[in-house]
């Protein structure tokens, strides 16, 4: 029996900062391993499975930051931080008017 990947979207191995808008205020994390369906974050806290995270990050090739809502689908402790798997719910490619 051969290996079968569950992945639908191809992944891009990138690493950059992300700004998270939490009820307690703004927090920062690092994202990597991004695809059309989700992203992996490294956070200082362990969010709850099913929690919706609103964040802002920059996709390669875009000049402005992108607002994203994503649902937590996986949390693993990784040394002094938490590796968090997120599934995209909403991606706003248009910059907000200020």
- Here the contacts of 73-76 (C-beta below 8 Å, separation 24 or greater) are 73/38, 73/49, 74/49, 75/46, 75/47, 75/48, 75/49
13 pLDDT exceeds 70?
A: no
Q: Cα(64)–Cα(26) distance, rounded to whole angstroms?
A: 19
Q: What mean pLDDT do residues 55-83 have? A: 87
Q: Is the pLDDT of residue 1 over 60?
A: no
Predicted local confidence at residue 98, as pLDDT: 46
Closest CA to 37 of 92, 94, 93, 86: 86
* pLDDT mean over 12-16: 65
Q: How many helices (H) and strands (E) does the chain have?
A: 0, 6
Domains of the chain: 11-92 (2.40.10.220)
Q: What is the pTM of this model?
A: 0.76
């Amino acid at each position: 029996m051969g290996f079968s990947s569950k992945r639908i979207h191809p992944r891009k191995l990138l690493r950059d900062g992300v700004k998270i808008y939490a009820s307690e205020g703004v927090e920062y994390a690092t994202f990597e391993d991004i695809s059309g369906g989700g992203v992996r974050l490294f956070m200082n806290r362990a969010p709850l499975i099913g929690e919706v995270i609103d964040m802002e990050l920059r996709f390669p090739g875009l000049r402005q930051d992108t607002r994203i809502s994503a649902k937590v689908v996986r949390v693993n402790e990784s040394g002094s931080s938490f590796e968090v798997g997120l599934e995209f719910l909403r991606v706003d490619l248009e910059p907000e008017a200020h």
